[in-house]
Homo-oligomer: A and B are copies of this chain.
Amino acid sequence: MAASRGVRHDSMRARNLAVVLGTIHRSGPHTRAALAELTGLTKTTVSSLVGDLLEAGVVTESDAVRAGERGRPGKAVRLSGQRVATLGLEVNIDYLAACVVDLTRTVRLRRTRPADNRNSDPAVTLGELRDLVKEMTAGAERAGLRITGAALAVPGTVEGDVLRSAPHLGWRDVRVGGLTDLPFAIDNEANLAALGELWFGSRAADFLYVSGEIGIGAGLVVGGTVFRGTLGLAGELGHVVVLPDGPACRCGGRGCLEVYAGQDALLGSLPTVASLVRLLESGDRRALETCERAGHALGVALTSAVHLLDPGRIVLGGIYATLYRWLEGPVAAGLADRLGLMRGTPPTLLVSGIGPDAAVLGAAGLVIQRLIADPAEVLDLQ
């Protein structure tokens, strides 16, 4: 029964590797002695686990110890940015993007390729993405970085590794495979943008990230984790009903938020968000009314979202970050008016600081999150 005993031993060791790495990730650099205190493991066990993590290149040990840390001074174990990294990818309506991020959350490589992916052939677009993956992998290798996995953000709904529906790409039921031999995940752009905001933006542990694009998505982060729902389809804020008998929406419903506050509704016949901003800055009455109407609808939909999801704060991202000056007033007023008696104060409204990079950064963050949750599995530590 040696094999069976081996399995038992490994599963315990894998759990403990995750406990030690998770502690460093959550609460920063610590000495081995402090890690033993914090994890409830013996110093001998911690030293052996730290040895494995050092060898795998996910942590490094240095002399600096934070002031006030208990016990004798000693070397601090911290996450290492030297040898391990992850790959974030994004297919969006008008571009492809990729980034390589190391474990200290430093962006090491970054590419965006403009592209017209509206109603594109998935095979062609994914072929272009594959070229980008090769370029990034080669770049990472030159920098001495091992990439442990990749994740792809898409503007649509995802089940498992199948892109179920991305209406603005015109894609349905596309199985995304063969991009890379690395461990691979695919998720909705709003979920990953929320993770991007968590890992690279405000870093608050509880918020609703609202991704204003041609479609409107939302990603809810609770206690540092993205809430995904049963099938991973949660957060479709763009199809929350604002007016039951309103205009028809492409989803088959009527009066959805997207009809009033999606990019197409905001731009009308204008070519770009930049041109809308110029009109708003010049005080153009029609542009201001359009924004006011969108902000009002967003306030109604977010009221429903707050009642159902109870987010700690609301972060407006995507084009809503660009238009925040004009949206903030009507959205905040709508929330205050409708939520007043149910809650002391409505959730704080904020603007995202990381802009259009949120989703691709979040994709890289997802892979880091998985590595930290199970380093033994991801790094193949025996």
* A40 contacts B7, C-beta separation under 8 Å: yes
Among candidates B4, B310, B343, residue contacting A228 with C-beta atoms closer than 8 Å: B310
Contacts A244-B242, A308-B237, A309-B308 known; A342 to B251 CB distance under 8 Å?
Answer: yes
Tell me how many residues of A have a C-beta within 8 Å of chain B: 56
Looking at the assembled complex, report how far the CB atom of A52 sits from the nearest CB atom of chain B, in whole angstroms. Answer: 18
C-alpha spacing A7/B233, complex, angstroms? 43
**A341: Cβ under 8 A from any B Cβ:** yes
Nearest B residue (CB) for A218: B308
Binary CB contact string for chain A from 331 to 353 against chain B (1 if under 8 A, 0 otherwise):
00000011111110000000000
Chain B residues whose CB sits within 8 angstroms of the CB of A265 once the complex forms:
none
Q: Is the CB of A232 within 8 A of B300?
A: no
Q: Which residues of B contact A218 (CB under 8 A)?
A: 308
A252 touching B339, Cβ below 8 Å: yes
Which single member of B4, B235, B239, B343 contacts A342 (CB below 8 Å)?
B239
Given known contacts A11-B40, A36-B8, A40-B12, A307 and B252 CB-to-CB distance under 8 angstroms: no
Contact B241 A338 (CB under 8 A): yes
- Which chain B positions have C-beta within 8 A of A234? 308-310
Say yes or no: A252 contacts B337, CB within 8 Å: yes
**Which A201-240 residues have C-beta < 8 A from chain B?**
206, 218, 222, 227-237, 239-240
Q: Is A254 an interface residue (CB 8 A)?
A: yes
* Residues on the B chain within 8 Å of A228, using CB: 310
A56 at the binding interface (Cβ < 8 Å): no
Question: Is there an interface contact between A342 and B157, defined as CB atoms closer than 8 Å?
Answer: yes
Report A85-127 CB contacts with B as 1/0, cut-off 8 Å: 0000000000000000000000000000000000000000000
Chain B's closest residue to A243 (CB) is: B244
Does A253 sit within 8 A of B, measured CB to CB? yes
The 0/1 profile, CB within 8 Å of B marked 1, for residues 241-261 of chain A is: 111100000111110000000
- CB-based nearest B residue for A310: B229
Question: Shortest beta-carbon distance, A337 to chain B, in Å?
Answer: 7
CB-CB under 8 A from A250, the residues of chain B are 341
Q: Which residues of B contact A337 (CB under 8 A)?
A: 252-253
In whole angstroms, how far apart are the Cα atoms of A164 and B165 in the complex?
41
Segment 172-224 of A: residues with Cβ below 8 Å from B? 206, 218, 222
What are the interface flags for A281-306 relative to B under an 8 Å C-beta threshold, 1 for contact and 0 otherwise?
00000000000000000001101110
Do B240 and A229 touch across chains, with their CB atoms under 8 A apart? Answer: no
Q: Do A252 and B304 touch across chains, with their CB atoms under 8 A apart?
A: no
Indicate if the CB atoms of B342 and A252 lie closer than 8 Å.
yes
Contact sample, A vs B, 6 pairs, CB 8 Å cutoff: A8-B40, A230-B310, A241-B338, A242-B244, A251-B340, A252-B342
Chain A: residues with CB nearer than 8 A to chain B?
4-5, 7-8, 11-12, 36-37, 40-42, 157, 165, 206, 218, 222, 227-237, 239-244, 250-254, 300-301, 303-305, 307-312, 337-343
